[in-house]
Amino acid sequence: MYKSVPLPYDYSALEPYIGSETMYIHFNTHYMGYINNLNDEMKKNNFKSIPIRDLIITIDGYSDNVRNNAGGFFNHFLFWKMLKPNKEGNSNLPVGLSKKFINRDFGSYDSFKKIIEAKAKKRFGSGWVWWVLMPNGNTRILETPYQDNPLMYFDCEILLGIDVWEHAYYLNYQADRMGYVNNIFKIINWDYPNAILNKYY
């Protein structure tokens, strides 16, 4: 059985960028729904429970229902840790290896942001935008549909992910996806990608 991981901050902690009602619904309805549905699907089909990352990597061997709900569980499990509270008006620039890799692979933080914003705008309907580390040491920005993630397609490490499903932002931003994405940069937890990069470099 797959179990939820507690939200690492209060529902209101990411305000004003993400409101408490959005976080409450996102966590308790969407995230918990993915976990419950995944457990039901695994049980119904007599699938052996394996570590969630292993399930994601081998997801092509499972049904679409398992794929969608496993992705929803795993993606949000990461997403909560990729964000952190930040008071309005405070800067939130990448530091350490994140800064080094962003400057090396994208030229500047502004260029990095523009590519992510373009990918988020291009993603038709629901999905995610990701920053990933490839086996050759280069980093890339990708987008995936629905609850897919890069581990379903590539041998890579996920450094950051941005949820661009409407449920992630609609209460606060209505149809302004780009306003939401722009504000996400203000609450990125740069400790997350730094910890992954530090394992390799």
| Residues 88-101, mean pLDDT to the nearest whole number | 95
Question: Which DSSP letter does residue 48 get?
Answer: P
Q: Would you list the domain boundaries of the chain?
A: 20-82, 96-200
**The one-letter amino acid at 121:** K
Question: pLDDT (tens digit, 9 = 90+) per residue, 11-39?
Answer: 999 999 999 999 999 999 999 999 999 99
pLDDT at 124: 83
Summarize pLDDT for 141-194 with one digit per residue, the tens: 999 999 999 999 999 999 999 999 999 999 899 988 999 999 999 999 999 999
Nearest 5°: the CA angle 97, 197, 149 is 120
> What is the architecture, at CATH level 2, of domain 20-82?
Orthogonal Bundle (1.10)
170/22 Cα distance (integer angstroms): 8
What is the model's pLDDT at position 125? 86
In terms of CATH architecture, what is 96-200?
3-Layer(bab) Sandwich (3.55)
Predicted pLDDT at 147: 95
Average pLDDT of the residues in 115-136:
94
pLDDT band at 103 (very low <50, low <70, confident <90, very high): very high
Instruction: Write down the pTM of the prediction.
Output: 0.94
Condensed to tens digits (0 to 9), the pLDDT of residues 106-123 reads 999 999 999 999 999 988
> What digits encode the pLDDT tens for the residues 4-13?
989 999 999 9
pLDDT at 1 over 90: no
pLDDT digits (tens, 9 = 90+) for 38-73: 999 999 999 988 999 999 999 999 999 999 999 999
Cα 135 from Cα 145, distance rounded (Å): 23
CA distance 80 to 160: 11
